[in-house]
């Protein structure tokens, strides 16, 4: 079952693009995920390629609903279906934003930290929610998404930031990303740039 709303999936060539890109990124990250999990992420990427699906209309124009509001909606509703859908969207949006829109958080790494934590917890809650019928298979998908959220963010970063020239500010942000989240991808990129990151906060060249 695809993420959020199956009726919102885009055409197959977009999914094929993301399938190939994700497969390559996973290989680069030396990250293995189950086929169903990879399929889920590909469908999520294809779905959010349509901005009208990612952003929600509001009085001041389209915007991303804050994750805290999505969490509040999930906690307050007594409707099991609505809670499932809301937690699923929370996890999906957090993963997509962390992977593809992280450059929108310059000097605000707490936001990336926050998105990773919120997304992982949303998927974890879904993994522990009893489901019936076809959704039962999604429990293992959500469990893996929770467990490998940060490495998957690294894989999506590879897709969105391929072959870019980094300024000094970019390098500092890359270091902050590693320091905040423990990103193995950020650590490898720093090493390739001749920078040895240290947990003490120092940067050795």
Task: Measure the CA–CA gap between 31 and 116, rounded to whole angstroms.
Answer: 17
**Whether 94 and 70 share a structural domain:** yes
Task: Give residue 160's pLDDT.
Answer: 81
pLDDT of residue 71: 96
Average pLDDT estimate for 128-143:
87
Condensed to tens digits (0 to 9), the pLDDT of residues 162-200 reads 635 455 556 667 777 787 788 888 888 777 765 666 664
The predicted pLDDT at position 96 comes to 93
Give me the domain span that covers residue 60: 6-162
145 and 182: one domain?
no
The answer to the question of residue 202 being in a domain is yes
Q: Are residues 121 and 187 in the same domain?
A: no
Q: How many domains does the chain have?
A: 2
| Shared-domain flag, residues 115 and 182 | no
Q: Are residues 25 and 44 in the same domain?
A: yes
Query: What does the alpha-carbon distance between residue 141 and residue 163 come to, in Å, rounded to a whole number?
Result: 30
In this structure, is residue 1 part of a structural domain?
A: no
Residues 110, 78 share a domain:
yes
**Across 28-37, 94-103, 146-155, least confident range:** 94-103
Q: Is 35 part of any domain?
A: yes
Q: Are residues 96 and 177 in the same domain?
A: no
- Interval 6-21: pLDDT, tens: 333 333 467 888 898 8
pLDDT at 34: 96
Same domain, 203 and 110: no
Q: What is the pLDDT of residues 11-64, one digit of tens each?
A: 346 788 889 889 999 999 999 999 999 999 999 998 987 888 888 887 777 788
Q: 142 phi and psi, to 5 degrees?
A: -65, -35
Same domain assignment for residues 173 and 155? no
3-state secondary structure 129-160: CCCCHHHHHHHHHHHHHHHCHHHHHHHHHHHH
Q: Considering the chain, what is the average pLDDT of its residues?
A: 81
């Amino acid at each position: 079952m695809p993420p959020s709303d199956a009726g919102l999936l885009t055409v197959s060539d977009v999914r094929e693009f993301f399938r190939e890109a994700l497969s390559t990124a996973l290989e680069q990250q030396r990250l293995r995920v189950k086929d169903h999990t990879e399929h889920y992420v590909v469908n999520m990427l294809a779905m959010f390629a349509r901005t009208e699906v990612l952003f929600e209309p509001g009085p001041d124009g389209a915007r991303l609903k804050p994750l805290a509001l999505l969490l509040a909606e999930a906690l307050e509703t007594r409707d099991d279906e609505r809670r499932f859908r809301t937690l699923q969207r929370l996890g999906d949006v957090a993963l997509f934003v962390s992977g593809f829109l992280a450059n929108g958080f310059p000097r605000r790494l707490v936001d990336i930290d926050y998105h990773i934590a919120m997304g992982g917890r949303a998927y974890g809650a879904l993994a522990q929610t009893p489901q019936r019928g076809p959704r039962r298979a999604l429990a293992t998908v959500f469990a893996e998404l929770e467990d490998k959220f940060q490495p998957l963010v690294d894989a999506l970063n590879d897709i969105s930031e391929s072959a870019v020239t980094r300024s000094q500010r970019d390098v500092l942000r890359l270091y902050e990303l590693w320091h905040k989240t423990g990103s193995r991808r950020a650590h490898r990129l720093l090493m390739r740039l001749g920078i040895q990151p240290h947990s003490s906060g120092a940067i050795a060249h």
